[in-house]
Amino acid sequence: MKITNHQNSRDNKMKKLAALLIVIGTLSSFEPYSAITLRHYLAQPIHTVVIDPGHNKFFTGTKGLFSKEEDVTLEIGLRLGEAINKTFPNIKVVYTRTTENSVEGATTLKEDLHDRANIANQSRGNLFISIHCDAMPPAPGGYYAKRVIGHKKKLEYVGKGSKKHKKWVNAPIYESYWVKNTTIGATTYIWKAQKETDKINAITRKDEETGGEEFTDSTDSANRVDWDTQSPEAKMMAQIYEQRYFKKSAVFATMVEDEFEKAGRKVWGVKQRDKGIQVLEATGMPSVLIETGYLSNKEEEEYLNSEKGQDEVVQNIIDALGRYIQYLDGVKAPSSAQTSDSLKK
């Protein structure tokens, strides 16, 4: 049967209308619209994890008494990738860097961060994990401070010019003392979902670069809808994705913090950021940034540099990843109240 242009046009309009109805229905509930459509749109299984060891020798991070953040994050990141390959052999691991050098030979920090997000988006990752270390000022380990322990009479010159004269004053007596840098603990950051952000733009760009895979049902090619990524429908879907990615990021981050705490680590909880963490903002997928601990604390720096400490941190993340995969499969999913309580703005 010959199909006219009019029929093709009408069919395309019907497909776009059907897609728009899916979007509208999802906006109101976020519940699965059908077993075929939104399950594939919004709950894809984990097939690629992107590991991002923060900083490098050119764009350095914080420093401890004897180590640098860029070296610790690389070691933990590589160990994490090996552990994922061993524990979840069906998951592909992609690294943003595997050496001390900048990502893709970037010459500026802006380029380096852009390239990290670009690697993640082009890999079609399902989860982005950025590894970092934290620090508290003013100095790693600790510092000397002064305090007043008394006063003594002291003859000093006061006044200026012809009015300058000697006078007995109560001069403070100072004592130097050591202040240890005691802050320890792990924090996990996620990107704060908003109406208009670069996260939405990243999701849209990812769809353009991957040929629309994010917005199509790969199990039924005959019923696919060709998306104009600049159309109102696509932008609405991108906003849905951001909200969904926010939820998934929050769930995984909560699980990471929970595993750290179960292991006896001090945790500061899941925190939301809406600026300052470009790799979270520019990645079109669920993404977290894990501050694994404080290099400014002597004991925690030693822990994060030790084989035992790094293995424990990696195992905590692996345990969280296992729980997260179960969550995506509908097993042992945390309640929304548990997730919400763990978030600290």
Q: Is the pTM of this model over 0.95?
A: no
Residue 204, pLDDT above cutoff 90: no
Share of the chain above pLDDT 70, in %: 67
In a domain, 14, yes or no: no
In a domain, 216, yes or no: yes
pLDDT 10s digits, 143-176: 788 888 889 988 888 888 888 888 888 889 898 8
**Which one, of 245, 183, 231, 194, lies nearest residue 41 by Cα?**
245
Strands 343-344 and 267-273 turn out to be parallel
Determine the 3-state secondary structure of 106 from DSSP.
coil
The pLDDT mean for the chain works out to: 77
In a domain, 301, yes or no: yes
Residue 39, pLDDT above cutoff 60: no
Same domain, 203 and 317: yes
- DSSP E strands: which ranges in 34-141? 48-53, 92-95, 127-134
Last residue of a domain, one of 163, 180, 197: 180
Residue 235, pLDDT above cutoff 80: no
pLDDT at res. 17? 46
pLDDT at res. 111? 92
In a domain, 160, yes or no: yes
Q: Which residue has the higher pLDDT, 239 or 316?
A: 316
Specify the CATH number for the domain of residue 299: 3.40.630.40
Confidence of residue 276 (pLDDT cuts 50, 70, 90): low
Same domain, 175 and 201: no
pLDDT at res. 44? 52
Residue 125, pLDDT above cutoff 80: yes
Same domain, 93 and 152: no
pLDDT at res. 269? 93
pLDDT 10s digits, 221-233: 333 334 344 555 4
Same domain, 155 and 191: no
Same domain, 191 and 163: no
Residue 139, pLDDT above cutoff 80: yes
Last residue of a domain, one of 154, 180, 206: 180
Same domain, 261 and 168: no
Same domain, 235 and 195: yes
In a domain, 36, yes or no: no
Collect all residues with Cβ–Cβ distance below 8 Å to 314 and sequence separation of at least 6.
76, 79, 80, 83
H or E stretch covering 303: helix 298-305
pLDDT 10s digits, 180-196: 899 999 999 998 765 44
Q: Which residue has the higher pLDDT, 218 or 178?
A: 178
Q: Which residue has the higher pLDDT, 329 or 43?
A: 329
Which of 32-46, 60-74, 75-89, 303-317 is predicted least confidently? Answer: 32-46
163: containing domain:
142-180
In a domain, 250, yes or no: yes
Domain count, the chain: 2
In a domain, 16, yes or no: no
Same domain, 167 and 274: no
Same domain, 200 and 86: yes
Same domain, 52 and 197: yes
**Which one, of 240, 265, 242, lies nearest residue 320 by Cα?**
265
Same domain, 51 and 154: no
Q: What does the DSSP 8-state code read for residue 219?
A: T
Same domain, 147 and 109: no
Highest mean pLDDT (candidates 35-39, 90-94, 108-112, 147-151): 90-94
pLDDT at res. 281? 85
**Which one, of 214, 291, 190, lies nearest residue 19 by Cα?**
214
Strands 287-294 and 186-191 turn out to be antiparallel
In a domain, 171, yes or no: yes
